[in-house]
Every structure is written in structure tokens, then in C-alpha cells.
Structure 1
């Protein structure tokens, strides 16, 4: 029926009751309306679609592993940690960005006067001997070396540099730091000297009464008011202490002037004649010679008995006449002390040894004048059997002394 599969039971029912057939035809002819969609269903579907779209977009825009590390709180934490590590490295390297053992040579920042030494600075303590042996200077110049901390002062033997000239100081790679590491590469420092300026004539001033000055006689002897400290290396200038003043005068009697005025109680000239050490007004001072600038203050000391030099190291001592203690004037470290009281002191030219005599005694068992030899390197004291009745004269090599004892010269 109507192309459907035969159903005998249904066909029998329709034949028996025609009304059922009519109702069946009515149902087939009727068309049902599509029911309206639920608004809640629409909202839920919209939310689901938006969530799915956002999830897909987030998956595509999500940064990679490195991008996550280098952004946000993680990157801030890593940056702070790196800063702390860098500060620790600088602290352990004593603030040296080149690291321990890496040497930086610092040239002068301005031209050098012809009567001033060439100063080459290092960023850490150096091995003095290896640095001096590795230096080459152009134009070729005979020089002397002096160290002030990490600064190397290069002074020509003639006393002056050539005017308006560029000097090149070359330091070979084998130069070593104090820790023993070589600098590893050649360092070249260029230094320019100032030109000699022709002074403009000064206006004539009204002459004032000349102050009384101490002069040198034709025999080249200093007047009785002063005591000589030593000569310049060229033998043309004499330095002396007179009335609390340190002064200089040329060998022909000209060019007299005060270098330190008033209150100087002790002074000593270095063996090369290029530096002066003095005690003035409770301060230890050093002055480069020939004097062209103000003295350098090494520090304050309440009182000193005397000053001197151990090669290029300034020293001073206290306690004389009594047990004498010796100190490094630059850093106040103790260098040694005499085990018995000392009256007169005679320091070797290089400052490595000392001959001293005991003060005048108060009994027959302590007659005084007993000589002792003190060695600073070993801090050993050696008493001698003879009695010294004169000053002690050291030979230039600091290995022998001569003195008068019992009417004869002893060596």
C-alpha cells in the first residue's frame, strides 16, 4: 500500500474500520511546525564557541620556552642574581675589572714638565725588579727608578727631560705583577714633555732689605748654623738643614732657597739624590728633587728621633736614646728594634744595616760607647768587643765600616 511493505494485520484493521483509514490519511496530510529554539541554548552555544576560539588563539600566541625565561618575574630574578655575582667577582678581584693577574698600565693624563719624572701607574702591586728590567725608553735615556705604591717614577740621570719631546716607555710582556703573573703583552706608554716657555719680563719692584742668608764659603763649606744633608746626583746642588729650614744652594754659592720653612727637626736625602724625607710639624713629608711641586704628606706621627732611607723606602725611628724602633714611613709597619738602648746611630747607605753605640754609661760595668751591628733583614743584633771613640764611616757598598778605637783606625 502506497509503496510500503505489506502489513497484513494493519491492512485487516483498516478494512474492518474505514474511520481509522480516514484519520491515517489526515495525519499524513498534516505538516507539523518546527518548534522555536531555546534562548538559553543559544547563549550556551555562543559561550562554548567563544571559549573554543579563545583557546585556539592562546595556543597559537603562547611564547616559547626561551621567551618565557627572558620575560616577567623570572628574567628580573635572573638579572638580580647576575648583578650579585658580578659584585662578588669585583670584590674578590679587589675592584679590578681585568681580574687578578691582568695588569693595566695607566699612562699620565697630561704633559710632563722637563724637570719632573715620568710616572707610569699600574692597577695592582708589581714586581719592581721584573718591571724595571723589562722597560725600554725611546729616545734612549739613562734613568733611575723610584716606586711610590703602584706608581713607577722614571727620572733621567741628567735630571731633566728634553723639552717638547714625545717619549715612549715600552714594557715587555715578561714584566710581572707582585703575585707573579706576567702581564702577557707589550704595553707602550707615550708621554709628551712641555715646551720651554720664555718668561715675560716682570715689572721692577721696589727693592726691600735683603734677609740674612747662610752662604757657602769659597772652600765650599756650609756655615756653622746648618748641617749638610747631601748632594744632588750631578754634584751641583747641596741640600742642608739650618734653623728648622731645609734649604738648597749651588756649589758656586748661587741659587740659595728654602725648600721647607720652619719646624723641620729631621731630614734625610735618598742615596740617588732625587728624594728628600723630612719631619715637620708632626708630619712626615717627601719631596721630589729638584723641587718643582709641593711636598707629599705620608702621614702624621707624634714625634720621631730621626729619618732615613732603605734604598727607595722612607723610614723613621723613635725612642732614641733608648731602645730604638724603626718604621716604614709609607705604611707605618715596623722594620725592627734594637734590643739595648742606642746613643749614636750610623745607618748604612742602602739602609739594610745599622751600627749604633750604647749611651754613656753610669757605672764601670756599663761604660757606654759599646758598638752593635743590627741587620734589618734578619733582625739580628751583633755586639762588638771594641769601644768606638769616633764617628762611623760606611763604605758605599754598605758592606764595611771604618771607625777609631783605642787610638787606631779599625775596619
Structure 2
């Protein structure tokens, strides 16, 4: 039996590679002669660089820059041929925001955090390598600035209604009246955003209302951001905000569209690029992440694995989650929790507990599939 394991990270517990190895151990305990392929994967958010660095011929490089709050940081990027891959989470990641003693995000974060560092990194790698394409992993960020900071970091200018240029170093330009823009010249470089969600820029499933609260935005701030997004959207391209993925990474997706780029599902692109040789002929596919919920169905790794696995004819696809809030994912036959009994969150997220639970769940699934010998979808 041929088995493909493509697990996302269980954030705060184990990474994609460790989760994959745990599942593989479980499969081997049930089916000793199984051929198991493990893919290090991501959806455009955290882990994108690790996934792409595993591709043959890839070079993992670093650059000194700043994070979303202006603090010094070193960011990694990947060079594959004439293509550069950068990751928003490495410089704009949600964990980089200030947190209170109770673990909640500082409520001033929406006003202070900007996407400027990602634009600076993109400009630097374009100047250094003259690539034909820059792939931008979008996801897992602590910013909600519509990509205003990114535009400035690339060399553009964002102004308020009085024509005053807005410096992202002074705070989120979106909340300081961003009303007009001069887009930077990127030459002939193709820009593509690898989105972790298919969210639009605005609305209940958009950058502010869906994702703003987890980045420190209280209700009044969420609506303030939502209104500012409308003004910004009108300036950068009318209805581009309705494009699936425009709301990814706090609205950076919309900015990339305004720059002439396009957006694709990060999970699907990475899975096809990093695992081109493993999908055909797979009898069983495992995927999963720490919390499988409604956001998972918007384009995260489990959704992408289901789509790609079905595209290649895999008959059985199973998703494993530390917590499960939905049982419906495109192309996935079963969504299963890995814990057999309720556990305190701190206990459930211990790496050894997660890996043991993943291996146990995978062993059970593999034993059933191996015994039944299915060749049709469940």
C-alpha cells in the first residue's frame, strides 16, 4: 500500500515534519510493508519556507530586517532557480505581537503593526537576485493594514486625503486615512500570492471581521478597520477586494492584486510543487492540523490536500485534528480528532502527547483501510 502523509503544523505543539513522522510511525505499526511518503507542507502561512526549502535544488537564505512592530529580526527566504519564495509569517507573524500576562494580544496592535517589513524583504530579494517570479506566502500574520505597509516597503507611496505621505513606521496607514497610492515599479517580475484562506478583503469573512479579533481588534476597532478597507479598496482597484484571497494576511492579498499579481491557493500550489512525484498511485492520504474548523475549509492545508489528492485519484483521504470543529472538507472522507478523551489544553499541546495521539490515530485508520482494502472513496 502506498501512503502519503501531508500534515500541517499543530501550532504551539509540533511542526509539519514532526507531525508527519508521527503519522508515518503509526501507519508502519499497522502496515509494516506500506510505502510511506512524508511531505513537509504549508498553506502560505507559517512553515512555507520550511516546506519550500525541502525541494531539490532549493537554497535557504536569510536577510536582516524588522518585524511588524519595527524590531530587528532575521527572515529566511528560498531561492529555487529564478523564483524567490518569501513568507509573510516570518516577519509579520501573529506570535510576534505583544501579549498581556493573560496571553491575549495587546489591543493597540492593529494601530501599530504593519506589513512594511514584508515589502522591504521583497524589494531586497528582487534587487539582489533579479528573479523572474516572487512567490509570497500569505497567512499567519498579525497585521490588518490592507497591504499599505507592503506597498511602501516596495517603494510606493501611500497618502491621506490631504496628500500627505504616510510612513508605516509611524503606525498602520490604513487607520491614518490611507486614501491614495502611487504603486512601485517592479519591472517584469511576476508576483503571486500563496493564500492560506480564500477570504475576500471585506465582509463577515474578510480581513477585519473574520481575523481582526485574533490580532487584538476589539469590536469598535474591527468596524473602523472595515470602513478603512472600503476606502483603500476603491483606490487600489475597485472590486479586487471580492477576489478570493484578497483578505489573506490582513488584506495583503488585495495589495498584491493591485500590483498586478495573482493569488492561488497556497496549500495546493505548495503540495503540487513540493510533492509532484508522490501523489499518483497513493492508496491512502493523511492530512491534518491542530484545529480543523471553518477556516480550514477556506483553503488551509487539509482542504488543499483533499483537493490535490482527489485530483490525482487517491481513493481515501483522512484528516486528523487536535480539535475538530467541522466534518466537511473538500476531497476529505473523514475528519477525526486524535485525542480519545478530553484533555486540558496545556496537556493536549505537549509535543509528546500530540505525537503519540497522531501515531495512535494513524495506526487505527491504516489498520482499517488495510483490512478493508478499499479502492473506492469512503
TM-score for the superposition, normalised by structure 1: 0.24
TM-score for the superposition, normalised by structure 2: 0.26
Structure with more relative contact order (C-alpha pairs < 8 Å, separation 6 or more): 2
Instruction: Give the number of the structure whose residues are more often helix, by fraction.
Output: 2
Larger radius of gyration: 1
